[in-house]
Amino acid sequence: MKQKHTSTQSKQRRCAPRTARPSSCDYLRAKPFFTPVYEDDNLLIADKPAGVLVQDESGKICDTLLNRAKRYLHERGDASGCSSIKLCHRLDTGTSGLILLAKNADAEAQAVELIRRRLLQKEYLCVTFGQPSPSEAELRDYLLKDSAKGVVRVVKTPRTGAREIITRYSTLRTSGRLALLRVELVTGRTHQIRAHLASVGCPIVGDSKYGVNSVNRELKCKYQLLCAWKLTFPVIESGPLSAVSGQSFSAGEPWYVPQLREGVLK
C-alpha cells in the first residue's frame, strides 16, 4: 500500500533546507577588465583595481585578478601562459595597484626569491586620517597575527609568534585632517602598512579593520585609500627576469591623489 503523507510531513518536506551544490568556476567567467603594465614571455605586471580579490582558493569566486589575467592571456592566444601563470605575491582585496605574475615556473621561482631577499622594492601611496609626526620616518616593530579573526596587532617588543616589521614613510602633502604618504614596504607582512600606520595614530582612510569607520562613512570611502604604486627591480644578470633588470614600473595615479592635492578631500 502506498503510504500517505500527513500535512505536517508534507510541510516538513517543503521546509527542509536543500543541500547547496558546489558552484563551478573557470577563468572565462571572470570580468574582461584587465590592465597590463608590462608583459614579456616570462612576466606579467598588472594594475589591480580596489575591490577585486586576487585569488579564491575555494574556486567559488570567478572574478579574481588571477582569473582576469588568465582570460586576458586566453583571448590573446597565449595558451601556455594562460595554463601556467601564477601570482608571485598578494594584495589585500581593498588595495589597488601593481601585482606581479609569472608565466612559468622558472620566472615564478626567481620572482619569489627576489621578494624573499627583499630585493624587489615596493612603494605605496596612501591617505591617512591624521598627519604623522615626524613627517618622515622608519617604523620598526613586531606583528602578531590572529588568523581566526583575520587581523594583526602591532607590538613594540619581541614575543612568541611576533615577526619583525619595517615600514618607511614620507609625507608628500597634507589636506585638513588628512595626509598623503609615500610608503616603502621593507618587510612584507599581512596588513603591515595598514596596521603599522594605525599603531602610530594615522590609520588609512577607508580601512574598515584598522581605521575610523565614522570618517570612512563621512568621506564615502568603500575601500582603503592604499595603492601599490611602484615596483623597482634590482640588477638581474641572468634568468627569466633579466629583461626587467633595474627597471621601475608605476600604477596609474589613484583618484584620491588629485582630490587631496586640490583640497577636495580633507
Domain 121-232 in this protein, CATH class:
alpha beta
Rounded to whole angstroms, how far apart are CA atoms 29 and 171? 41
Task: Identify the pLDDT of residue 15.
Answer: 40
User: Which residue, among 111, 191, 115, has the nearest Cα to 147 in the 3D structure?
Assistant: 191
For residue 17, pLDDT over 70 is answered with no
pLDDT value at 73 more than 60 = yes
Percent share of the chain, pLDDT over 90: 84
H, E, C per residue of 193-229: HHHHHHHCCCCECCCCCCCCHHHHHHCCCCCCCEEEE
C-alpha to C-alpha distances, 124 to 56, 58, 113, 221, nearest whole angstrom: 24, 29, 21, 18
pLDDT digits (tens, 9 = 90+) for 85-112: 999 999 999 999 999 999 999 999 999 9
pLDDT over threshold 80, residue 24:
no
What top-level class would CATH report for the domain 29-120+234-251? Answer: alpha beta
Under the banding of pLDDT at 50, 70 and 90, the label for residue 253 is very high
Q: Can you spell out the DSSP letters for the chain? A: -PPPPPHHHHHHHHHSPPPPPPPP--GGGS-S---EEEE-SSEEEEEEPTT-BS--TTS----BHHHHHHHHHHHTT-HHHHHH-EESS---TT-EEEEEEESSHHHHHHHHHHHHTT-SEEEEEEEEES--SSSEEEEEEEEEEETTTTEEEEESS--TT-EEEEEEEEEEEEETTEEEEEEEESS--TTHHHHHHHHTT-PBTT-TTTS-HHHHHHTT-SS-SEEEEEEE-----SSTTGGGTT-EEEPPPPTHHHHHHTTS--
29-120+234-251 against 121-232: fold identical:
yes
- Known catalytic residue: 40? no
Question: Where do the structural domains in the chain lie, given as residue ranges?
Answer: 29-120+234-251, 121-232
The residue from 47, 92, 141, 207 that is catalytic is 92
Whether pLDDT at 3 is above 50 = no
25 or 164, which is more confident:
164
